[in-house]
Structure 1
């Protein structure tokens, strides 16, 4: 997957999962009670909240690497 593909999927409000080194991860867009959108990303059922795509790309971790460093290795499973 590329950074642009990830951005498109998030802009399309699609939820998806991927496996990396035998660990499942999920990414989804949600809204809080005030209507503000955010991104949930992380190990399946243990996701963290990110305020924006840039925040996700700056801080999100996959195993011991940043998402931005391993994104090209990721194959998604669309829900």
Structure 2
């Protein structure tokens, strides 16, 4: 899929581990949804880039709750 992505993706974004954890906590706090880190990447990148997305329709795929309760709680407990 990398060749296809190289052809079709306009811009690549990255997120730090802290940004991903912050996104996971935010989604849980604001929406009551438990997401794993993979979904946290999409949210973290959106939050870091949203000022560049004015007047655009945005869709984020937030899937994956495949994280243990213990691990998720440890993310929630981080500050």
Greater strand share, structure number: 1
The structure number with the bigger radius of gyration is 2
Greater helix share, structure number: 2
Task: Provide TM-score, normalisation by structure 1.
Answer: 0.24
Task: Provide TM-score, normalisation by structure 2.
Answer: 0.24
